[in-house]
Amino acid sequence: MSSIENLSAEDKQFIRTVFHEMRKSAQPFMDERSFVMSNPQLFAFLSNAPSAFAIAGDGAVDATEIAILERLAKVIDVKAYISLELMEMMSVAAEPENIMTNEEFNLRVGSELLFLARNADRFENSFIAALKAMLTFDYNPTADGSLTKSFNALMDNTIKHNSSKNKTAEAEKLSKFKEQIGI
């Protein structure tokens, strides 16, 4: 029996609502970038978007920060990132037409994270709303492996490996961003 068969009507509606909110919130970015993502792609992108905001904390994106995003993008592979069970659960939520292939997503994700970092001020409120919606999946935010802990670790590691000139500004901005998304 598949996991989707075990979902109640209420669970399916919850998944639909969360993905609708995530997609609606990130839509201005996706429209501007012609970045039409499937639900698993959206989940993978939003899971890594906090790194772009961590990097953008001081208002500039330098060569070291670009290298950090490039390294991160190399490990984002939708098929490896999202389990089949999770993909199946996501399939109950509506998706737009003409979504890109996973291969195209994997090729573009780094440049899209870089664009997001360089334009963080323009898209911050949208992504705060999308990430807050996504974190409603986190039934136990203090558990190891939870989305909340993963977001927190991703942002902290991004800052830790960043040799920015203004660490204080980045740390303050990151703290505010974490608070706004509920971490």
Average pLDDT estimate for 125-150: 88
Residue pLDDT, tens place only, 2-44: 567 788 899 999 999 999 999 999 999 999 999 999 999 999 9
109, two tokens = 């994700």
Model pTM greater than 0.85? yes
Residue pLDDT, tens place only, 146-174: 878 888 888 788 777 666 666 777 777 77
AA identity, residue 59: G
- Distance (Å, rounded) from C-alpha 22 to C-alpha 25? 5
- Closest listed residue to residue 47, CA positions, set 151, 177, 139: 151
10 Å Cβ neighbour count for 127? 25
Segments making up each domain of the chain, as ranges:
3-174
Q: pLDDT value at position 96?
A: 94
